[in-house]
Structure 1
Amino acid sequence: MYFDGYGYHGTSFEQTYRCYPASFIDKAQIENGDKVIMPPSALDRLASLHIDYPMLFELRNAATERLSHCGVLEFIAEEGMIYMPYWMMENLLLQEGDFVRVKNVTIPKGTYVKLQPHTKDFLDISNPKAILETTLRNFSCLTTGDSIMVAYNNKKYYIDIVESKPSHAISIIETDCEVDFAPPLDYKEPEKPARPIPTGKAPAEEPPAEPEPKFNPFTGPARRLDGKPLKMQPPQQATASSGGSQDKRSNAVSSGAGAGAPSSSSSQSTNRQSQGKLVFGSKETPKDTSKEKANKPEPPKTEEEPKFQAFSGKKYSLKG
């Protein structure tokens, strides 16, 4: 079956056209998407077929066996010609006026796609996710192995389609698709600084660690809450004095131990009796020492220490 000189056979659309970039027609907006402009005869043929909408097409370069997919924007091209984005011609390795095979296909809706920017400058954009979502609204489908172009702030960013699911070509029209990013092609991991290896010198031995001082509680100086000078002896002096008193007490105890000692220590008992001390277990009575006590002067009476009274200091006002 022939239509206007072009051969259309079967129930599918397949035709060969000469391709040209968007600069040959006043349709610069097609550079920001994946849609092509085809001749009116293609629309007449497609309308007579039972095809799925939206219309999606397979583009094939027979010379290099490169393959891609696209949508259609308008049917206003000259007969035998097709206009497409220049980045799409680069993917298919096509030059101006080369032949490209166009065939209508049905592509499943995508569920996952993995993208890889060519340069890490794309990640420096303040919100690359929003820019990517806005750009992909002009796309109908994505093909694994293609490099799409994202234009932002008078600069072009190229992004590779690394992986797509459930097929190598997916439709992104009215679908929820998970997007993942691979590291940019020019990304380099920071190198870890290498440790210098000493040559001819033995490794220096580390000095032994000093033992940590043990914690001794209550070793600081004592302070009174009322600010008065401390009349009690410090713990060290007190222990020293207590040691002396313990020696005296031990001597006294040893001297008093004669109560349970045998009678052979009579000389010690006589000395004790001569000093006017009472020794238990002795039959002899001590000497009367009342006269000696009368002759001895009485020790001076010590003043009683004032009792501590809380909150008895001076008053101060916070206002000064």
Structure 2
Amino acid sequence: MFGGMFGGQGGFGSRFEASYRCYPVSFLDKTEAERGDKIFLPPSALDRLAQLHIDYPMLFQVENRRDGRKTHCGVLEFIADEGMVYMPYWMMQNLLLQEGDVVALRSATLPKGSFVKLQPHSTDFLDITNPRAVLETTLRNFSCLTVGDTVPINYNNRRYFIDIIEAKPADAISVIETDCNVDFAPPLDYVEPVRQPPQQQPEPMAADGPEAAAAAAGGAAAQAEQPQEPRFLAFAGSGRRLDGKAVSESRPVSVPLPTPVWPGSGGGSSSSAAAAPAVAAAGDGASGVVGSAPKRPGKVFGGNRLQAKLADKAAGGGAAKPPAAPTPEKKKEGEEPESGFKAFQGKGYSLKG
């Protein structure tokens, strides 16, 4: 009926044009066709298409002239009743069509797509483990994509809707045997999280009066009661003697110097007595240099014993006399000096035996 309205034998030249009444594919019990964008045409459409020089695969532009909505699709079979076209129900919704409305079909040639941008309706689509793999599997049932269409994707017994918001190199592209890059826009119900500035703790206001003073004193006492952290103290250990005896703490001992005999004094007691206080005073002022070396614990060789004896004599009364220098022992006649090493002191031997 409607096929003859537009020329009967193929329309104008090499372009196919016809008008049909549209119905959903569920009228043909072809529910699997809802997963793609292909329609069912009557057999007469195949006869007219065979007489025209059209490009393959066959693509069509479907238009609702009443509302001015357009989309593109492919053809799956030519088994529809004459004057009717069966199409997926989601396509009828995009074109704002009801059952029995008239649509205009026109053959079309679309470029191969290189880029498409999609926008999911819900953030639930982002919960899919691999959304790109799901989308690639779904688009295998599609022959073309048009900007402005809403495409359903069935996955895991759920249906997700995605809008085609951008396509290159044209608003309508072919996705058959092409390498097309896919990009995703934020879902329609996606809400950008609001970044809250860090909350600043209010500073305590200074209060006057005895209560504030008591609180401040309590805080200071609490800080004072806190144990101090251990600090490193150098040389804080105890001493050990090599001979195994106990180490006794000793203090520096001031030893008075002996009374010097000045030349030219003639051995008089007056000059010696006059010089002694001066020397003693000098010794007291320089106790760190002469006669005041502390007795270090752990010293084995007894270097300070002489100073201790001099201190004892000084405490007993009178000035201590300087120790006499040791006199070398006289050698006896015919006696050789003792030595640790003696050269050429062994027995002699002859090579002749």
Q: CA deviation at 1:220?
A: 7.3
Q: Which of residues 134, 157, 160 is equivalent to 1:157?
A: 160
Q: Which of residues 53, 78, 91 is equivalent to 2:56?
A: 53
Residues 1:148 and 1:173: Cα distance change in structure 2 (over 3 Å): same
Cα distance in 2 for partners of 1:221, 1:139 equals 87
Residues 1:96 and 1:193: Cα distance change in structure 2 (over 3 Å): same
Q: Which of residues 74, 93, 105 is equivalent to 1:90?
A: 93
Cα distance in 1 for partners of 2:238, 2:132 equals 69
Q: CA deviation at 1:126?
A: 2.7
In 2, are the aligned partners of 1:224 and 1:230 still within 8 Å (CA)? no
The residue aligned with 2:184 is: 181
The residue aligned with 1:77 is: 80
Q: Which moved more, 1:124-133 or 1:180-189?
A: 124-133
Q: Secondary structure at the match of 1:123?
A: helix
Residues 1:289 and 1:171: Cα distance change in structure 2 (over 3 Å): same
Q: Which of residues 30, 35, 49 is equivalent to 2:38?
A: 35
Q: Secondary structure at the match of 2:153?
A: strand
Cα distance in 1 for partners of 2:82, 2:48 equals 13
**Unaligned 5+ residue runs, structure 1?**
257-264, 278-286, 293-320
The residue aligned with 1:261 is: none
Where in structure 2 are the equivalents of 1:128-143 lying within 5 Å? 128-143=131-146
In 2, are the aligned partners of 1:223 and 1:230 still within 8 Å (CA)? no
Q: Secondary structure at the match of 1:107?
A: coil
1:16-44, Cα deviation, whole Å (9 max, x unpaired): 11111111112111100000011111111
The residue aligned with 2:150 is: 147
Cα distance in 1 for partners of 2:199, 2:323 equals 96
The reply on whether 1:65 has 2:71 as its aligned counterpart is no
The number of residue pairs the alignment matches comes to 251
Whichever residue aligns with residue 126 of structure 1, its letter is: T
Q: Normalising by structure 2, what TM-score? A: 0.60
1:166-221, Cα deviation, whole Å (9 max, x unpaired): 110111111111111111111112233466799xxx85489xxx9xx9x9876474
The reply on whether 1:120 has 2:123 as its aligned counterpart is yes
The residue aligned with 1:191 is: 194
Q: Normalising by structure 1, what TM-score? A: 0.65
Cα distance in 2 for partners of 1:25, 1:171 equals 26
Residues 1:223 and 1:87: Cα distance change in structure 2 (over 3 Å): farther
- Root mean square deviation of aligned Cα: 4.3
The residue aligned with 1:270 is: 276
The residue aligned with 2:321 is: 289
Q: CA deviation at 1:83?
A: 0.5
Cα distance in 2 for partners of 1:146, 1:103 equals 18
Cα distance in 2 for partners of 1:124, 1:274 equals 100
Identity over aligned pairs, percent: 51
